[in-house]
Amino acid sequence: MTFLLVLYGVSYTFPKSVMSETHTSAAFFPRVVLILAMGLTAILIITNIVRRETSSGYKGLEREQKLRVFGSMGLALAFALGAVFIGTFVSVFLLIIAMMALWGVRNKVAILAVALLTPLFVYVIFTKILLVQFPRGFLF
């Protein structure tokens, strides 16, 4: 709700058109949608309070689950940041090894096979066939 209110406030910073008297302004439609979204969110909050429910009865994650989920998110983030510096294909290789290790996979052959074949697949399909230029970085 707060987020929606902030976005609504931001709409007042949009410049006004010289034709604003005859035409709807750039802020008109986002405001309509945000008011609608705020109204619906308010109903949802009230309904949850009346029914004494937390949002969808969500119970939270256990420690290991948290580690895997946030670890996977962190690895994806690290990939997006690191690919530019060390190169996309090396990053793909490292991402797969790190992710499978994070999940607790012990089969080294499986890890190595997936880690080698995936960058190869990406290279053949995307770089050679679809001619996509990935960041090379200082490695590859």
List of residues contacting other proteins (CB under 8 A): 7, 10-11, 14-15, 17, 19, 22-30, 33-34, 36-37, 40-41, 43-44, 47, 55-56, 58, 61, 64-65, 68-69, 71-73, 76-77, 79-80, 83-84, 88, 92, 95-96, 99-100, 103-105, 110, 114, 118, 122, 125-126, 129-135
Burial letters 36-47, b for 16+ CB under 10 A, else e: eeeeeeeeeeee
> CA 38, CA 2: separation in Å to the nearest integer?
9
Nearer to other proteins, 103 or 108 (CB): 103
Nearer to other proteins, 118 or 140 (CB): 118
Backbone φ and ψ of 15, nearest 5°:
-65, 150
- The minimum distance between CB 64 and other proteins, in angstroms, equals 7
Backbone φ and ψ of 49, nearest 5°:
-65, -45
Residues 6+ apart with CB under 8 A from 70: none
- The minimum distance between CB 91 and other proteins, in angstroms, equals 9
Nearer to other proteins, 2 or 22 (CB): 22
Nearer to other proteins, 49 or 64 (CB): 64
Task: Compute the C-alpha angle 61/66/67, nearest 5°.
Answer: 155
- The minimum distance between CB 32 and other proteins, in angstroms, equals 8
Q: What is the chain's alpha carbon radius of gyration, rounded to the nearest angstrom?
A: 24
